[in-house]
Chains A and B, each alone.
Chain A
Amino acid sequence: GDSVTQTEGPVTLSEGTSLTVNCSYETKQYPTLFWYVQYPGEGPQLLFKVPKANEKGSNRGFEATYNKEATSFHLQKASVQESDSAVYYCALAPGSNYQLIWGSGTKLIIKP
């Protein structure tokens, strides 16, 4: 079946350091991939839809890359801030299915 596996958390970083969150997926259909962020007391918000293979997308200082051959996609930020503390989810929409398959979430804790 379709599945998504992501970096286990929590991940604790100091402000100004770099972040990488990895996700891998399994599906026999053409995937559409997403990154969502969830702040405490809020619902998840779309960070961005991952662009085509070997292209980079960016939003709010985060970048996403997608390796089609390795069926993996990655979220990166060069210099995290305390305000980036949240839970980050990768998600997969397999084929034309509107249902999202969610990763387990990576809780990011930034120390000032």
Chain B
Amino acid sequence: EAGVTQSPRYAVLQEGQAVSFWCDPISGHDTLYWYQQPRDQGPQLLVYFRDEAVIDNSQLPSDRFSAVRPKGTNSTLKIQSAKQGDTATYLCASSRTGGHTEVFFGKGTRLTVV
């Protein structure tokens, strides 16, 4: 089966610019996660969905970050007015509901804000 697909793989922005990241989860996976991974750190959960519903977005900087999954399949994470502190790799992951099943990660989008 195809894995989790993310695009773009890399992005370089000036401070203040906006950027969107796109994720296509594994077919049939109802749960989708967005993580932020700063360099040399572990992944930090930003938001996760079950189908189209946001289950937890408490770690999402809501003033500049937004995430949607309108049809319960693909998802978009958007950063408005990026800051240098947003420099990180943004990982999308998906899993099936039901017990602690394996979470599959995409390769990520490496964002650099200069």
Show the binding face of A for B, using Cβ within 8 Å: 32, 34, 41-46, 49, 89, 93, 98-100, 102-105, 107
B71 located at the interface, meaning its Cβ lies under 8 Å from any Cβ of chain A in the complex: no
CA distance A18 to B55 in the complex (A): 41
User: Which B residues form the contact surface with A (CB < 8 A)?
Assistant: 4, 31, 40-45, 48, 55-56, 91, 93, 95, 97, 100, 102-108
What is the chain B residue whose CB lies nearest that of A4? B42
Cβ–Cβ contact B42 & A104, under 8 A? yes
- Given A89-B42, A100-B103, 12 more contacts at CB 8 Å? A42-B107, A42-B108, A43-B107, A44-B105, A46-B102, A46-B103, A46-B104, A98-B48, A98-B97, A99-B56, A100-B45, A102-B44
Q: With CB as the reference atom, state the residue of chain B lying closest to A6.
A: B42
Contacts A32-B100, A49-B102 given: A43-B91 contact, CB under 8 Å?
A: yes
CB of B57, distance to nearest CB on chain A (Å): 12
Judge whether A102 and B95 touch: CB under 8 Å.
Answer: no
Residues of B within 8 A of A98 (CB): 31, 48, 55, 95, 97, 100
